[in-house]
Structure formats: structure tokens, C-alpha cells
Amino acid sequence: MKEVVLDTETTGLSVKDGHRIVEIGCIEIENLIPTKKNFHCYLNPERKVSERAFEVHGYSDDFLSKQKKFADVADEFLEFIDGKRLVIHNAEFDLGHLNNELLILGKKKINNEIVDTLVLARDKFPGSSINLDSLCKRYRIDNSRRTKHTALIDCDLLAKVYINLLDQKEPTLDFQSEKKITENNNESIQYYKKVIKPSDKEIASHQAYLKNNLKKNYFN
């Protein structure tokens, strides 16, 4: 299945305060492998960037004033994501801004299937920091290029985080498939999650260890 890892940068946090998008970055992946198809643009938000947002991404009002407006790229963007699952970190934020831009143009809201990696990370690491930098550190992903928040670099990092969150780090060849693998055909490459279940004896031993080594008030 084709998916699009997506990120935006904006003039500020809330569309209710009139904030707009200044950058969109998209990386297409298929079966968790980048297809080398990207969508990227800077945008003229037709308003000033907040001080806080400038600290985050570093895009000045002067630089952005020379870029295209969302209306100029909307159709190309919608065509790029059409029919593909969207992978977004904190999807509520990005979708809120994207749908606001579409609303301004009188276009329909995005109705693609969504995977929110923030939710995946929260379920997998409850109580831990789950921002993109923290997840890169956890999975030993080099994020040294990320001196500022930029949409395309963040998409590249998020794609790697996403694969790790799914525990699908390495492609496995499906030798039972009748399809032949060629330089231009990776359709027979699939990903598998290896699950090893502990035995009853191992579970009992682990529970005994916890009771003996953790504070008694953890167990009633």
C-alpha cells in the first residue's frame, strides 16, 4: 500500500488565531520503502510569522513573501496524496491547518485514512517523551540535520521512526510469491513482525521477580 509521510510548518499554533501554513513536505512510501517521490513547497501565508514559530523553523516574512500561495499548489498537493494513507506526527495539528487552507479555497476536507504516529508512540511508550527528537534518540536515528524544524527533513526522520514503531525494520523477501523481483519491481518485498511469546514458566518467573524486587505496595 502507498502511504505519504506528511509534515507542515506554520505561522503559529492555532487556525482560530488566523495562522497559516508556510511549508508542506511529503514523502511517498510503498510497503514501507521510499519511492523517491516527494512533494515539497514553501508558501506565502499572507500574514506575519509569530516570533515563536520563527524560532522553530526560521522562515522569515521576507523569504515567505516571495513564495507561492496555497491556492497555487493546492491541486498538485491533493493529487499527490490522493488515495494514499497519510502518516503524520500529531495529525490533529497538521490536518487542522491543511483543512483550514482548503476551506479558504472552498474545497473539501481531507478524508484520507490517517496514521498518527504520536498515538502509536503514546501507546507503545506511555509516560515517556514522544516528540520526534525523543523518538529519534530512542531508535538511534541520526537527526543531526534537524537544527530547525523543516517539513521535508522531518518527514524523512518520521518515516524512519514510523518503521521502527511498527517493529518492521528490515525487508524480508517473500520466496513463496510467484512474482519475480527485478530492479524496477519491489512488489514481492514484504515486512514481517516477529513475535516470540514467553512460556508459562517464564511468565511465572518474571512475576516472581517483580514481586521480590519492587515495592510491596505495588502489589495488593
Model pLDDT, residue 136: 95
Which residues are part of the catalytic machinery?
149
User: How does residue 95 score in pLDDT terms, banded at 50, 70 and 90?
Assistant: very high
User: How does residue 101 score in pLDDT terms, banded at 50, 70 and 90?
Assistant: very high
Beta-carbon contacts of residue 70 (< 8 Å; ≥ 6 apart): 20, 21, 43, 101, 104, 105
Q: Find the mean pLDDT for residues 49-58.
A: 94
Q: Find the mean pLDDT for residues 105-134.
A: 96
In a domain, 73, yes or no: yes
Nearest C-alpha neighbor of 6 from the set 107, 102, 119, 84: 84
Using the predicted structure, report yes or no on whether residue 193 has a pLDDT greater than 70.
Answer: no
User: How does residue 65 score in pLDDT terms, banded at 50, 70 and 90?
Assistant: very high
Using the predicted structure, report yes or no on whether residue 194 has a pLDDT greater than 80.
Answer: no
Between 143 and 41, whose confidence is greater?
41
In whole angstroms, give the CA distance from residue 218 to residue 220: 7
What DSSP state is assigned to residue 12?
A: S
CB atoms within 10 A of CB 4: 24
Model pLDDT, residue 169: 56
Nearest C-alpha neighbor of 36 from the set 140, 152, 114: 152
Model pLDDT, residue 139: 95
Using the predicted structure, report yes or no on whether residue 219 has a pLDDT greater than 80.
Answer: no
User: How does residue 159 score in pLDDT terms, banded at 50, 70 and 90?
Assistant: very high
Q: At what angle do helices 117-124 and 151-165 cross, to 10 degrees?
A: 40
Distance in angstroms between the alpha carbons of the first and the last residue of the chain: 47
C-alpha 21: how far from its chain's center?
A: 17
In a domain, 215, yes or no: no
Q: What is the CATH number of the domain that holds 29?
A: 3.30.420.10
The CA-based angle 109-110-114, given to 5 degrees, is: 145
Q: What percent of the chain has pLDDT over 90?
A: 71
In a domain, 200, yes or no: no
Between 210 and 9, whose confidence is greater?
9
Cell of 19: 495562522
Domains in the chain, number:
1
In three-state secondary structure terms, 15 is: helix
In whole angstroms, give the CA distance from residue 187 to residue 51: 46
In whole angstroms, give the CA distance from residue 207 to residue 33: 40
**Least confident among 28-37, 99-108, 119-128, 164-173:** 164-173
**Least confident among 18-27, 71-80, 111-120, 162-171:** 162-171
CB atoms within 10 A of CB 84: 18
Residue range 180-191, pLDDT digits in tens: 333 344 443 333
Model pLDDT, residue 182: 33
In a domain, 80, yes or no: yes
> Is pTM, for the whole model, over 0.85?
no
Nearest C-alpha neighbor of 165 from the set 91, 115, 94: 115
In a domain, 40, yes or no: yes
Report which secondary-structure segment, H or E, holds 4: strand 2-10
Report residue 95: phi and psi, to 5°.
-65, -35
In a domain, 35, yes or no: yes
Domain range for 29: 2-170
In a domain, 190, yes or no: no
In a domain, 220, yes or no: no
